[in-house]
Amino acid sequence: MANFQGSRINPRKFSASQIKFYVLLVPLAVVMILPVIFIISQAFKPMDELYRFPPTLLAERPTLRNFQNIWGIASATAIPLLRYLVNSIIITVVTVVLSVLLTASTAYALSKKKFRARPWLLRINQAALMFVPVAVAVPRYLVIVNTRMGNTYFAHILPLLAMPVGLFLVKQFVDQVPDAILEAARIDGAGEFSVMFRVVFPQIGPALATVGILCFQAVWNATEASNIYITDETMKSFAFYLGTLTVDQSPAMQGIGAAAALIMFAPNLIIFIAMQSRVMNTMSHSGIK
């Protein structure tokens, strides 16, 4: 028998067979990381470097002036910056938690329960994948207005709870949980909620983490509710406030716009880096039965 350990497809240590992959992947990684470096660098550039042509990738004289200007503008307004930030934190945390629970519970029902409407619900979810948020903006507005949820946190939260793509991914994971394990739990006296929370959910952790990341990105950067449903300034989001700073296209505001872009981008980057292994695991297994 050939020495299998000497010809591993994915060796644990560096192997000469991996060189061809590094030759291809390293240049791609460099190209992909350049926009991230540029966003970070732009936020720390002084005014003269922001308008330099040709533009430079890195800041030659980094400064915190752009961030100080944001704080100065916020301090001069009637509503403190902290109010917008607290609003976004509350909205994001509540929406992510509820969205993950709703998605996981629905995926469990559609995967492991047999009922007449199940095929139709699956088709509806697949059809929902084709619709962009703009296509349902009018129905959302009518629901929010007719239920009198304007100027409340619900106007921010409810439109973003349902995630068709998240439900699709999580259902693929739940399909892979053996029915024998669930039956064994029921024989031991576990109810449906115990089966979900103590048996199924721990086994689909990567998929739930992916849904959480996707939901966080959608909610943290969302400005639709603040623009359309909310008229009370104290109920608007942090993303909306920073967006108002970038509306002014005057040269003096370009540094503030760059700093605001980094502030909104940084949490997404940090969370994705911290949990990227779970995201990759979800994407690689989402189609495996």
Kindly report, residue by residue over 61-99, the tens digit of the pLDDT: 888 888 888 888 877 777 888 888 899 999 999 999 999
Alpha-carbon torsion, ordered 52, 55, 58, 64, to 10 deg: 40
Domains of the chain: 18-63 (no CATH), 81-285 (1.10.3720.10)
- % the chain with pLDDT above 70: 88
pLDDT tier at 120, thresholds 50, 70, 90: very high
Say what the alpha-carbon torsion angle 206, 210, 213, 218 is, to the nearest 10 degrees.
Answer: -160
Cα 37 from Cα 102, distance rounded (Å): 36
Tokens of 187: 């024989």
Measured distance CA(159)–CA(133) in Å, rounded: 10
Single out the residue of 49, 36, 171 nearest to residue 112, CA to CA: 171
What pLDDT sits at residue 268? 86
> Distance between CA 205 and CA 173 in Å, rounded?
9
- Record the pTM: 0.80
Which of 251, 254, 256 shows the shortest CA–CA distance to 241? 256
